[in-house]
Each structure stands twice: as structure tokens, then as C-alpha cells.
Amino acid sequence: MTTRPSPENKLTIKLRIEPSCLGPNGIDHIETFCAVAAKMFATVAPELVNWELTPRYDKQLPEQECFIDERRLSDEQTSLFLRHVGWEWDELQDQLDSILAQLVERYFKTLP
């Protein structure tokens, strides 16, 4: 049986996106890309996850972090939380990678 987290206990996944994923001029597009991508990600498990997409200007910061009520979770804690609600972290990460790749491809098609 899976349970749904209460709104205040939803998982927040912060994804930091490398400007270079948008090519050599990615720095010029990354802010817009993150805004558009955030709208798409908002449709992925909205009952479970709050998504934050932001450019990764500081390479010392991790590409992704997970939080509950602003408390950072380790990968193990994230896995346990997701398992509790019927999800697997590895599967969700694979889905995220796939969505991001599709969004990058679509974004390139919109550029002149």
C-alpha cells in the first residue's frame, strides 16, 4: 500500500541545470530554459514532488538535492521516502534524465 505525503511533507527536488547542456551559447538561454522546463516538470508526480529548476552556475553545488520542509535529505533518505510512497529513486532519476533530454531537444528546435 502506498501513502501520499501531506502537502507540507512533499518532497522538493532541486535540479540545477548546466548551461552547457544547451550548447556553447547555453549561458544565454539557461534562465528561459529552466523556466520552461519547470512548467513541464510540474506535471510529474505533482501530488508527491515540488520541483525547483535553476541554472547551475556554481559547479561546487550538486546537480540535484532533495528536501522535505527545507531539510536536506541524503540519497538514502530520499530513497526511503520514495519507497514509502510507492516510488523508486532510481526509476524517478531515469525518468528525470529522459524528460530533460527531451526538453533540451525541443528547446533546440525553437531556436533560430
- Does the pLDDT of residue 6 top 80, yes or no? no
Among residues of the chain, what percentage have pLDDT more than 90? 63
CB atoms within 10 A of CB 20: 12
Angle (nearest 5°) at CA 40 between 38 and 46: 85
Return phi, psi of residue 8, to 5°. -75, -15
Q: So what's the pLDDT on residue 1? A: 44
- Provide the grid cell at 27: 549561458
Residues 55-86 have pLDDT tens digits of 999 999 999 999 999 999 999 999 999 999 89
The C-alpha cell 510507492 sits at: 86
